[in-house]
Chain A
Amino acid sequence: AAGVIQSPRHLIKEKRETATLKCYPIPRHDTVYWYQQGPGQDPQFLISFYEKMQSDKGSIPDRFSAQQFSDYHSELNMSSLELGDSALYFCASSRLGGGTTDTQYFGPGTRLTVL
């Protein structure tokens, strides 16, 4: 079965640089979520999109922005990177249309290292 695809899997950036993370949800899923997981930490919700509209917003820094495109893939844009942004970034997807399920399926994550 198709899963959530994230790219790149690993990313190394310098402080103050920008980074773009991409997420391709499971086919026919209409909702995308972004989570940040620091070393030894639990995933923290950043932002979600349903049908290309922002649905909910968590602890996402103002330096970060995200959007969901017409093909339902999503991109997380991170600017002015700081050392503390080093983390695993997970994308999850679900299908809310038709009230089918609340299950969020997570991708393998993008490991961002800021030097």
Chain B
Amino acid sequence: QQQVKQSPQSLIVQKGGIPIINCAYENTAFDYFPWYQQFPGKGPALLIAIRPDVSEKKEGRFTISFNKSAKQFSLHIMDSQPGDSATYFCAASPPRLFSGSARQLTFGSGTQLTVLP
């Protein structure tokens, strides 16, 4: 059972466009929602993360929108560039069970983004 559903699977936009990637989750205990960017042959790198007490967070050209009631969150990339072409993963995790316990990330299935020059 996919606890975090991500769409679309692939996305092609022109340079300067605003790709939007959507994720929906089922576990209402999730309280941490990061987005990762992954280039071929590389490890995922954290882009931006949000907690459910805010509805939007912006860092540079990346914005997360969060809708707690709908259990959905999305990534917007402003003024996209060819260098943004990568696979993007949303993820979610529940609170730590106790102080010192580690967060287990559940990833979405990924979106292959291509930004055309």
B44 lies within 8 A of A106 (CB): yes
Which one of A102, A103, A108 contacts B43 once the chains associate, using CB atoms below 8 Å? A108
A14 to chain B, nearest CB (A): 24
Q: How extensive is the interface on chain B, given as a class?
A: 20 to 34
**Cβ of B74 < 8 Å from any Cβ of A?**
no
Residues of A within 8 A of B96 (CB): 96
Q: Given A104-B46, A106-B44, A107-B43 in contact, is the A99-B99 Cβ separation under 8 Å?
A: yes
When A and B form their complex, what is the total count of cross-chain residue pairs whose Cβ atoms lie within 8 Å?
Answer: 71
Which residues of chain B in 67-117 are interfacial with respect to chain A, using CB atoms and an 8 Å cutoff? 89, 93, 96-97, 99-110
Given A42-B109, A56-B101, A106-B44, 20 extra CB contacts under 8 A = A41-B110, A42-B89, A45-B104, A45-B105, A48-B102, A50-B102, A56-B102, A94-B103, A96-B96, A99-B99, A102-B34, A102-B93, A103-B34, A103-B46, A104-B34, A104-B103, A106-B45, A108-B43, A109-B42, A109-B43
Chain B residues near A (Cβ < 8 Å):
32, 34, 36, 41-46, 49, 89, 93, 96-97, 99-110
